[in-house]
Amino acid sequence: MSQQPKLLRVLAGEAVTPPPLWIMRQAGRYLPEYRKTRKEAGSFLDLCFTPKLAAEVTLQPIRRFDFDAAILFSDILVIPHALGQSLRFEEGRGPVLGPIGEDLEALDVSGVQEALAPVFETVRRVRRALPPDKALIGFCGAPWTVATYMIAGEGTPDQGPARRMALAEPDRLQRLIDILVDASARYLLAQIEAGADAVKIFDSWAGVLDEAGFERWAVKPVQAIIERVRAVAPDTPIIAFPRGAGGRIGGYAGETGADALAIDWTLPMRLARDLVPEPVALQGNLDPLRVIVGGAPLDSEIDAILAAMEGRAHIFNFGHGITPDAPIAHVAQLVERVRARGPI
Catalytic residue among 9, 29, 124, 337: 29
- What is the smallest separation between the CB atom of 342 and ligand CP3, expressed in angstroms? 29
SS3 (DSSP) at 43: coil
DSSP letter at 138 equals E
Catalytic residue among 9, 35, 75, 299: 75
- Report the 10 Å Cβ neighbour count for 161: 17
Q: Are 297 and 319 in contact (CB under 8 A)?
A: no
Q: Which is nearer to ligand CP3, 93 or 164 (CB)?
A: 93
Q: Which is nearer to ligand CP3, 148 or 236 (CB)?
A: 148
Q: Which is nearer to ligand CP3, 25 or 228 (CB)?
A: 25
- What is the smallest separation between the CB atom of 241 and ligand CP3, expressed in angstroms? 7
- What is the smallest separation between the CB atom of 200 and ligand CP3, expressed in angstroms? 8
- Report the 10 Å Cβ neighbour count for 121: 17
DSSP letter at 67 equals -
Please confirm whether the linkage preceding 221 is cis (ω < 30° from 0).
no
Calculate the CA 118 to chain-centre distance: 19
Q: How many residues does the chain have?
A: 344
Q: Are 86 and 98 in contact (CB under 8 A)?
A: yes
**CA–CA gap between residue 151 and residue 171 (Å, rounded):** 14
Q: How far apart are the first and last CA of the chain?
A: 18
Give residue number: closest CB to ligand CP3: 204
- What is the smallest separation between the CB atom of 320 and ligand CP3, expressed in angstroms? 6
- What is the smallest separation between the CB atom of 102 and ligand CP3, expressed in angstroms? 25
Q: Which is nearer to ligand CP3, 64 or 341 (CB)?
A: 64
**CA–CA gap between residue 247 and residue 147 (Å, rounded):** 24
Handedness of CA 91, 92, 95, 99 (dihedral sign): negative
Annotation says 75 is catalytic: yes
Question: Which spans of this chain sit near ligand CP3 (rule: CB under 6 A)?
Answer: 24-29, 38, 44, 71, 73, 75-77, 89, 94-95, 139, 145, 155, 202, 204, 321
**CA–CA gap between residue 5 and residue 128 (Å, rounded):** 15
Q: Which is nearer to ligand CP3, 38 or 220 (CB)?
A: 38
Annotation says 149 is catalytic: yes
Q: Which is nearer to ligand CP3, 145 or 191 (CB)?
A: 145
Within 8 A by CB and 6+ apart from 339, the residues are 18, 21
Catalytic residue among 30, 34, 149, 252: 149
Indicate the pairing of strand 87-90 with strand 94-97: antiparallel
Annotation says 341 is catalytic: no
- What is the smallest separation between the CB atom of 171 and ligand CP3, expressed in angstroms? 25
Catalytic residue list? 25, 29, 38, 75, 149
